[in-house]
Amino acid sequence: MFAMLAQITIGTADLAAASLFLFGLKRMSSPATAKSGIRVAGIGMIAAVLTSFLYVFGVDTAARPHLMVNVALAIIALGIGGGGAWLVGRKVAMTAMPQMVAIYNGMGGGAAGGIAAMELFGNRTHGATQLLVTLLGGLIGAVSMSGSVIAWAKLQGVLAKPLRIRGQQLLNGVFLLAAVSVAGWIAVSGLSGADPVLPLTTWTYIFFAIALVFGVLMTLPIGGADMPVVISIYNAFTGLAVGLEGYVLGTPALMIAGMVVGAAGLLLTLLMARAMNRSVANVLFTNFGQVAKVHRGAITGTERATEASDAGIKMRYAASVIIVPGYGLAAAQGQQKLYEFVKLLLAAKVSVKFAVHPVAGRMPGQMDVLLAEAGVPYDLIFQLDDINAEFATTDVVLVIGANDVVNPAARTDKSSPIYGMPILDADKAKQVYVIKRGQGKGYSGIVNALFYEPNCNMVFGDAQAVLIKMIEAVRGLGAAAA
């Protein structure tokens, strides 16, 4: 009786959880409803986790006495993991958000790989399809886990620069082929019942070891400029792995959530790659993004510096201003001061808009989240395709900590690594001010030709400190007038 009620409850709860996932994801597609979407999806996740404990009622606990011990361990693990994630999530700085997302992606992939490992070690897979799906999910999950850890290390600064060796692509291919070959051997041995040279448990260890190493090797050569795409790729990998292992476990909620996340991650990856005018394969298997490599091309001239107060006053008397935020704004934690400055301009009847490039920052959507955190209205924020035509008629463009996304070399210099990448046409404005900490290169190591254009002036300094000076200058005008 209890078993039947448990099965009915599980089915109903899985359907409800899956519906909440889908509804929540739909609401996440708009900045205005994203917060509520996260809450809805979170409720769905809680429902799915709690429902998993109902499987105990459908199992003969007397025949499996260790089951209750496992349940207790699961509760302890949920407490530690959930509590730790809550504390870290509340305290994490905006600049650390990309690496937090990367490591959480890795945890999801690791969880999927762990499910596959337990299925293989416990010899609970039956049939060719289920065994192959288990192995595929395990491979993708392990790659996502180790690759995401390397991505985290790069973003955190633990690994300062890409690590490349001669024959890197060939070595990666060898490890991928080895992982697939071992997986095939496990499948053939498991289905045929043949006695392999080594126990299947040993082959399983070898399989996951190779997959983990492959994830590391695939991510080590990728440079900083490609990190947004890499994070997106591993997000798709994790979703796919979770969906596949959901099929193995026969859990609809995991299947639906995993496949939706996987599909969304894949579409986002393609969008990010297109925003850089590159293919995903080009991101994974070329050397773009190497911080140590500096490309100057045919740039001539010098950078012209100006005072923050002069730039602020110029914008106060402009008819139209477009602001291009970049990672430097997040690093300086200047988003609140930026919006304070914008409100002064709006009060003076200046038309102000924000232009956000799809790959600005170090993770997808980082600039949108940054501006939302400061309270910037959504109707002031525009994406590349929607605002690019307006730069030519704009009085002043303010670039804050951005580099490659406004570099005109992408249009003119065929020798540049970013040639062909769609950029924000900031250089076409009547006047451009660039807030930059110093005269160093951007995260990708490419010199920005915009900085040397005759209509561009540099405002050197920490973004928050510069914005404070701009605010003081504009307020000073009002005080003088009074």
Higher per-residue pLDDT: 77 or 226: 77
Question: Looking at the predicted structure, is the pLDDT value of residue 292 above 70?
Answer: no
pLDDT at 341: 96
Q: How confident is the model at residue 193 (pLDDT cuts 50, 70, 90)?
A: low
- The amino acid present at 109, given as its one-letter code, is G
pLDDT above 60 for 64: no
Per-residue pLDDT, averaged over 14-22, amounts to: 83
* Of residues 187, 190, 167, the one with CA closest to residue 179: 187
Q: How much is the mean pLDDT over the chain? A: 83
Spatial contact of 289 and 273, defined as CB atoms under 8 Å apart: no
| Separation CA 470–CA 97 (nearest Å) | 28
Q: What is the per-residue pLDDT for 441?
A: 60
Asked whether the predicted pLDDT for residue 288 surpasses 60, the reply is no
Which of 131-140, 217-226, 233-242, 307-316 is predicted with the least confidence, judged by mean pLDDT?
217-226
3-state DSSP assignment of residue 245: helix
Residues 6+ apart with CB under 8 A from 407: 416, 418, 423, 446, 448, 449, 450
Encoded tokens for 62: 């007397």
At 293 the pLDDT is 46
User: What number is the average pLDDT over the span 172-194?
Assistant: 85
Q: Domain limits of the chain? A: 2-285, 308-481
Give per-residue pLDDT as tens, 65-116. Answer: 566 667 788 888 888 988 888 888 888 877 778 888 889 889 999 999 998 9
Render pLDDT for 119-135 as a digit per residue (tens, 0 to 9).
888 766 567 888 899 99
Known catalytic membership, residue 404: yes
pTM for the model stands at: 0.78
**pLDDT confidence of 251, banded at 50, 70, 90?**
confident
The reported pLDDT for the residue numbered 195 is 59
Separation between Cα atoms, residue 435 and residue 451, nearest integer Å = 11
Under the banding of pLDDT at 50, 70 and 90, the label for residue 297 is low
The dihedral through the CA atoms of 364, 368, 371, 375 has a sign that is negative
Q: Is residue 423 a contact partner of residue 305, using CB atoms and an 8 Å limit?
A: no
- Burial readout 454-469 (b: 16 or more C-beta within 10 A, e: otherwise): eebbbbbbbbbebbbb
In this prediction, residue 418 carries a pLDDT of 79
Task: Give the residue with greater pLDDT, 412 vs 340.
Answer: 340
Q: Which residue intervals of 92-167 are DSSP H helices? A: 97-121, 128-156
Choose the catalytic residue: 404, 413, 425, 427: 404
| Choices 3.40.50.300, 1.10.3720.10, 3.40.50.1220, 3.30.70.890: CATH for 308-481 | 3.40.50.1220
Distance CA 401, CA 220 (A): 26
